[in-house]
């Protein structure tokens, strides 16, 4: 029995019999029904986020955002003047013949059934024409940039998309794959980020509740036609996907769950300022030039778990590129080997520690996994980073786990400032693709 039929049947029963007794006990039964069956329904629906992104090891400083808003998500409105900017560096001096293509996806990021001509206007292969070589840098690199949509290509549907960059016409072996979303704002999302109602985790977790109003669009079966994704900052390992409405009626859908949309509040992000190699900023222990490259030693980080919460403004894991001594950071910012370390003893048995944030493309892979230094009782990792200002955190994940946790090292607080991206997808009965009919960024502090 679908939730829609259950509610409709209940409404007819109450209207028919008109008894206060029936009204009272029908809704008691309703909540008993939901308490018994909703976990089973959700277990069949909710799933781990499937992240198709990839970045070749020779590609650095990948940035993908709305034009004019470098800290934004890669999200634009359908049939608007909004554009996305994708930029990246490739180490070396050789200018490559790079092309890119756009692919349409369902809400779970699997390939769409639609033909290219149904969702895309333009050539199948598009050339990356904007590139420049670095100058006055110890690391040679080529900076590539493209703006989309453009005069040669645009999308025709709302939903999820992939942009793939590859050499020559070898689309099957892309060196860069990034996600982006196109929205048609047909609904209004009213979010409320708060302390969780669960007593055991109230001080450590945040609950993301929201209501969706859709007076301008008729949704016949919300329980089966609506799916919602919730993403915290830029993380995908702990994203909630495939979430159906809890209740619905009168052109409103209620997503005020108690357990299903609860995430660690975490802590404010740590930071490292690499905008100058001449002057040491706070958190930098030493900057050395070991011919031919720069090396930056970050002060050894200490665990924040068990310590009081302290607010400071951050970028929620993002970063920006800037060099203090030059005018054109895209091609005049240098690279350096940046050495991170975390004091921790003994090593975590059966668990791995990752450096997380935009500086590692939010990926939890071998390149971003820290190694334990038994001599110094610390986890260490070296990254090649471009001059700029970076946020980062330490995340712990079991070897067989799909979701990591910042709580063991960073601590977790219900009042931490976080961004939550809420995406509402709609596929009506008989439709062949998922429309993105609503998107909203909710902040846990600024409401």
Tabulate helix, strand, coil % of the chain (nearest 5): 15, 40, 45
Query: How far apart (Å, rounded) are the C-alpha atoms in residues 77 and 98?
Result: 27
Structural domains counted in the chain: 3
Do 274 and 345 belong to one domain? yes
Where on the phi/psi map is residue 114: left (φ > 0), alpha (ψ -120 to 50), or beta? beta
Q: Which residue has the tokens 């109450």?
A: 14
- Give domain status of residue 330, yes or no: yes
Do 211 and 234 belong to one domain? yes
Structure confidence at residue 62 (pLDDT): 98
- Give domain status of residue 69, yes or no: yes
Cis previous bond, 309, omega within 30: no
Q: Per-residue pLDDT for 5 more than 60?
A: no
Do 222 and 283 belong to one domain? no
Domain boundary among 183, 204, 228: 183
Both structure tokens of 315? 């970028």
Q: Per-residue pLDDT for 13 more than 90?
A: no
Question: Taking the model in full, what pTM does it have?
Answer: 0.90
- Give domain status of residue 381, yes or no: yes
Structure confidence at residue 286 (pLDDT): 97
Structure confidence at residue 46 (pLDDT): 64
Do 257 and 274 belong to one domain? no
- Give domain status of residue 279, yes or no: yes
309: containing domain: 270-397
Do 244 and 286 belong to one domain? no
What 3-state DSSP class applies to 431?
A: coil
Query: How far apart (Å, rounded) are the C-alpha atoms in residues 33 and 88?
Result: 52
Beta strand 176-183 with 75-77: parallel, antiparallel or unpaired?
A: parallel
- Give domain status of residue 29, yes or no: no
Do 212 and 277 belong to one domain? no
Q: Which of 1-5, 77-81, 200-204 has the highest mean pLDDT?
A: 77-81
Both structure tokens of 443? 């902040």
CA 47, 408, 234, 175 dihedral sign is negative
Structure confidence at residue 12 (pLDDT): 41
The CATH number for 235's domain is 2.60.40
- Give domain status of residue 19, yes or no: no
Q: Per-residue pLDDT for 15 more than 60?
A: no
Q: How confident is the model at residue 47 (pLDDT cuts 50, 70, 90)?
A: low
Do 145 and 194 belong to one domain? no
Structure confidence at residue 27 (pLDDT): 40
Continuous H helices in 300-344: 329-332
Do 157 and 107 belong to one domain? yes
- Give domain status of residue 407, yes or no: no
Write out pLDDT tens, residues 267-296. 999 999 999 999 999 999 999 999 999 999
Query: How far apart (Å, rounded) are the C-alpha atoms in residues 347 and 349?
Result: 6
Write out pLDDT tens, residues 372-412. 999 999 999 999 999 999 999 999 999 899 999 999 999 99
- Give domain status of residue 71, yes or no: yes
Do 322 and 284 belong to one domain? yes
Structure confidence at residue 258 (pLDDT): 83
The CATH number for 89's domain is 2.60.40.10
Nearest to 36 by CA among 63, 3, 77: 3
Domain boundary among 124, 153, 183: 183
Write out pLDDT tens, residues 113-144. 999 999 999 999 999 999 999 999 999 999 99
Do 157 and 193 belong to one domain? no
Asked whether the beta carbons of 141 and 91 are under 8 A apart, the reply is yes
Do 61 and 145 belong to one domain? yes
Nearest to 317 by CA among 222, 218, 389: 389
Do 354 and 433 belong to one domain? no
Query: How far apart (Å, rounded) are the C-alpha atoms in residues 147 and 260?
Result: 37
């Amino acid at each position: 029995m679908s939730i829609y039929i259950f509610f409709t049947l209940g409404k007819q029963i109450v209207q028919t019999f008109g008894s206060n007794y029936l009204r009272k006990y029908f809704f008691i039964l309703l909540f008993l029904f939901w308490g018994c069956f909703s976990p089973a329904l959700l277990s069949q629906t909710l799933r781990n986020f499937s992240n198709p992104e990839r970045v070749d090891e020779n590609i650095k400083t990948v940035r993908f955002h709305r034009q004019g808003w470098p800290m934004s998500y890669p999200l634009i409105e359908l049939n608007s003047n909004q554009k996305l900017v994708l930029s990246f560096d490739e180490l070396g001096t050789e200018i490559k013949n790079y092309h890119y293509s756009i692919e349409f996806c369902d809400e779970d990021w699997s390939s769409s059934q639609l033909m290219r001509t149904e969702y895309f206007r333009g050539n199948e292969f598009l050339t990356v024409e904007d590139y420049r070589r670095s100058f006055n840098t110890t690391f040679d690199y080529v900076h590539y940039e493209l703006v989309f949509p453009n005069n040669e290509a645009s999308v025709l549907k709302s939903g999820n998309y992939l942009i793939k960059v590859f050499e020559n016409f070898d689309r099957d072996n892309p060196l860069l794959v990034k996600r982006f979303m196109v929205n048609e704002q047909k609904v209004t999302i009213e979010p409320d980020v708060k302390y969780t109602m669960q007593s055991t985790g109230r001080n450590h977790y945040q609950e993301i509740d929201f209501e969706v109003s859709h007076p301008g669009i008729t949704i016949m079966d919300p329980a089966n036609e609506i799916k919602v994704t919730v993403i915290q900052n830029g993380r995908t390992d702990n994203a909630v996907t495939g979430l159906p409405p809890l209740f619905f009626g009168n052109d409103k859908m209620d997503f005020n769950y108690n357990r299903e949309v609860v995430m660690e509040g975490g802590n404010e992000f740590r930071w490292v300022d690499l905008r100058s190699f001449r002057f040491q900023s706070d958190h930098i222990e030493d900057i050395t030039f070991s011919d031919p490259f720069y090396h930056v030693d970050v002060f050894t980080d200490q665990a924040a778990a068990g310590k009081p919460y302290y607010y400071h403004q951050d970028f929620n894991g993002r970063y920006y590129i800037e060099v203090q001594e030059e005018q054109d950071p895209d091609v005049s910012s240098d690279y350096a080997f940046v050495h991170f370390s975390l004091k921790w003893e003994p090593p975590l048995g059966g668990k791995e520690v990752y450096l997380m944030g935009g500086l590692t493309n939010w990926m939890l892979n071998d390149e971003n996994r820290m190694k334990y230094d038994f001599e110094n009782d610390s986890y260490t990792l070296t990254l090649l980073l471009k001059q700029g200002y970076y946020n980062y955190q330490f995340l712990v994940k079991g070897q067989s786990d799909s979701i990591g946790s910042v709580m063991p090292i960073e601590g977790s607080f219900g009042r931490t400032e976080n961004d939550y991206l809420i995406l509402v997808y709609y596929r009506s009965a008989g439709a062949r693709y998922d429309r993105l009919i609503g998107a909203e960024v909710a902040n846990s502090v600024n409401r």
